[in-house]
Amino acid sequence: MIVEALIKIVALLLIVLTSVAYLVLLERWICAWLQDRIGPNRVGPLGLLQPLADVLKLLLKEDIEPTAAQGWYHWLAPVISITVAISALAIVPFGASLVLGGHTVNIAVASGVNIGVLYIIALTSVGVYGITLAGWSSGSKYSLLGGLRSSAQMISYELTLGLGLVSVVMLSGSLDMTNIIHSQIAGGWNILRAPLGFLLFITSSFAETNRQPFDLPEAEPELVGGYHTEYSSMKWALFFLSEYANMITASAVMTVLFLGGWHVPFFDLSSMNPIAQAAIGVGAMAVKMFAIIFFFMWVRWSIPRFRYDQLMDLGWKVLLPLGILNIVLTALEKTYLL
Amino acid sequence: MSLWERIYLPEIARGLFTSIKHLFRPKFVRQYPEEKWDAPASFRGRPVLVQEDNGVERCVACGLCSRVCPPLAIEVQASETELLKERYPVRFEINMLRCIFCGFCEEVCPEEAIVMSQDYELTFRKYSDALYGKDKLLTPKAKLKDRLEFLRQMRTSK
Cβ atoms within 10 Å of B102's Cβ, excluding its own:
16
- Which H or E run includes B114? strand B114-116
* Chain B: closest CA distance from residue A291 (Å): 14
- Cα separation, A297 vs A259, in Å, equals 19
Tell me, what amino acid is at B41? A
* Chain A: closest CA distance from residue B115 (Å): 35
List the single residue in A34, A35, A303 with the smallest CB-CB distance to B12. A303
Cβ atoms within 10 Å of B82's Cβ, excluding its own:
5
pLDDT per position as a tens digit, B43-69: 999 999 999 998 899 999 999 999 999
Question: By C-alpha distance, which of A59, A55, A47 is closest to A21?
Answer: A55
pLDDT per position as a tens digit, A76-90: 999 998 899 888 888
Phi-psi region of A15 (alpha: psi -120 to 50; beta: other; left: phi over 0): alpha
CA–CA–CA angle A112, A199, A31 (5° rounding): 100
Q: Give residues 29 to 68 of A whose Cβ lies within 8 Å of B.
A: 33-38
List the single residue in B18, B19, B29 with the smallest CB-CB distance to A37. B29
- Cα separation, B137 vs B125, in Å, equals 18
Least confident of A27-41, A93-107, B37-51: A93-107
Mean pLDDT of B3-26: 87
The reported pLDDT for the residue numbered B50 is 94
| Average per-residue pLDDT for chain A | 86
Prediction pTM value: 0.81
Mean pLDDT of A277-297: 91
Task: Enumerate the H helices of B1-158 as residue ranges.
Answer: 3-6, 9-21, 64-68, 104-108, 134-137, 145-157
- Cα separation, A25 vs A308, in Å, equals 29
| Average per-residue pLDDT for chain B | 91
* ipTM attached to this prediction: 0.76
| More confident of the two residues A313 and A268 | A313
Mean pLDDT of B126-133: 93
Q: Which residues of B touch A301 (CB under 8 A)?
A: 19
Q: Which of A26, A31, A36 to mutate to test the interface with B (most CBs of B within 10 A)?
A: A36
The reported pLDDT for the residue numbered A104 is 77
- Cα separation, A200 vs A323, in Å, equals 7
List the single residue in B20, B27, B28 with the smallest CB-CB distance to A298. B20
The reported pLDDT for the residue numbered A220 is 62
Confidence of residue A219 (pLDDT cuts 50, 70, 90): low
- Checking if the pLDDT of A221 tops 70, the result is no
Compute CA A102 distance to the chain's CA centroid, rounded to the nearest angstrom: 34
Angle, to 10 degrees, between the axis of helix A141-172 and the axis of helix A233-258? 20
Confidence of residue B105 (pLDDT cuts 50, 70, 90): very high
Task: Enumerate the H helices of chain A as residue ranges.
Answer: 2-34, 50-60, 71-87, 116-137, 141-172, 177-187, 190-193, 195-208, 220-223, 233-258, 274-300, 308-313, 320-336
Share of residues in chain A with pLDDT > 90 (%): 21
A310 inside 8 A of chain B by CB: no
Mean pLDDT of A321-334: 92
CA–CA–CA angle B10, B13, B15 (5° rounding): 110
* Chain B: closest CA distance from residue A33 (Å): 5
Written as one string, the DSSP assignment of A40-90 is --SSSGGGTTHHHHHHHHHHHS-----TTS-HHHHHHHHHHHHHHHHHGGG
Q: Are B68 and B110 in contact (CB under 8 A)?
A: no
